[in-house]
Amino acid sequence: MTARHFSHLPDDDVERLFSRPPEPLGRDCPPALLAAALGATLYMPGTRPQLARDLVKQAAKGVVSSVVCLEDSVADADLAAAELNVVAQLRELARSGDESPFVFVRVRRPEQIPQIVSGLGDDARILSGFVLPKFSESYGAAFLDALDDASAAAGLRLLAMPVIESPEIIHRETREDALLGVQRLLDKHRSSVLAVRTGATDLCGVYGIRRGRDLTIWDVRLVAGVLTDVVNVLGRTDGTGFVVTGPVWEYFSGDERLFKPQLRHTPFDQHDANTLRADLITRDLDGLIREVVLDKVNGLTGKTVIHPSHVPVVHSLSVVTHEEYADATDVLDAAGRAGASASRYGNKMNESKPHLSWAERTMLRARAFGVAAEDVGLVDLLAATAGRP
């Protein structure tokens, strides 16, 4: 199975928008590249009767990674039927030969992992791995052991994405010990861990909080503090960390708003794209844009999404700009030599040592999402991917 970001666009658009197009991605590509390439990971409940068809449909629209959920999105009474449905639908998908996203299954119990893998048999090749909910040092070991055993039995590389969302993570008095315990456990299974996901909905739920469409998760101070600490402990770039992904954006249709829209007129005026701006605001995507920008600057990569309209926004914001690529190239070229120099764009200082990890991460993102052409900005990418006819 192979995928490539923006492959759903016409070739002329790809040539116009990118100076370096995204690379093809296969299930055997390096985990670091695959983690950087997850992008907008679309969640679907395991109860969907046409799940295989829906996955193919979304792949054709640009979805590259997906999660089939057997946890919170499935009622307890429907779990047994959902498990059977997931196996049947993924078997159908594997045998169809159709292009699909990378597929992960979110389980609720460790024993579901071997159950699903054995149920699929030879068709387990359709799986990229499993999402492990409510992850903690004590509860997570059984999940990771089950994953490693199932992977070995099937002769496949199956990867884990644990979700940080349990109460001991948001409670101040237990957070540090809980995160350090998770770090110790993940380090023991490092070769099996693709990325760490964050569950803002569950974290908010501990305190009965739900953010509005006018606010980002970074405005919810209790959860913002958790996300910061998760990156601090689990997202380090010194070889001990992992890719940490952004939490879900819950909204996908407009309603009465209390605050002003969060998209300036100017960039859209310059591209004669005010209709696009109005459409993004109507669909509450201006809030998502702001949240993704804040995710990135705070060390998160990619995002959980629950609606297809979110995918092009996350992916457009993941493309490496021509300026970012120039800066990263200059930093890497100067690696090993102390010093600083003005950027090629003449608007900032690049320092070879403190900017090195940023440059390396930027190059991974460039491979996954491509490098924009010199005169292409976010509005151009959104117009090509998120705009409606």
Nearest CA among 351, 374, 376 for reference residue 384: 376
CA distance 142 to 107: 12
CA distance 157 to 125: 9
Residue 41 pairs with which residues in a beta bridge?
A: 65, 304
The residue with tokens 């116009």 is 16
Q: Two tokens at 326?
A: 């120039």
Q: 54 and 1 in contact (C-beta within 8 Å)? A: no
φ, ψ of residue 371 in degrees (nearest 5): -115, 125
Q: 321 and 20 in contact (C-beta within 8 Å)? A: no
**What b/e readout covers 82-112, taking b as 16+ CB neighbours within 10 angstroms?**
bbebbbebbbbbbeeeeebbbbbbbbbebeb
CA distance 147 to 51: 23
Q: Two tokens at 327?
A: 């800066």
Kindly provide the residue ranges of all beta strands, DSSP E only, lying in the chain, ordered along the sequence.
2-3, 18-20, 25-26, 40-45, 65-69, 102-106, 127-132, 159-164, 195-198, 243-244, 246-249, 303-305, 340-342, 349-351, 371-372
> At what angle are helices 79-96 and 112-120 packed, to 10 degrees?
40
Q: Is 11 one of the annotated binding-site residues?
A: no
Q: 338 and 75 in contact (C-beta within 8 Å)? A: no
Q: How far is CA 125 from CA 1, 51, 72, 205, 289, in A?
A: 9, 17, 25, 36, 34
CA distance 18 to 12: 10
Residues in binding site for Mg(2+)? 202
Residues in binding site? 202
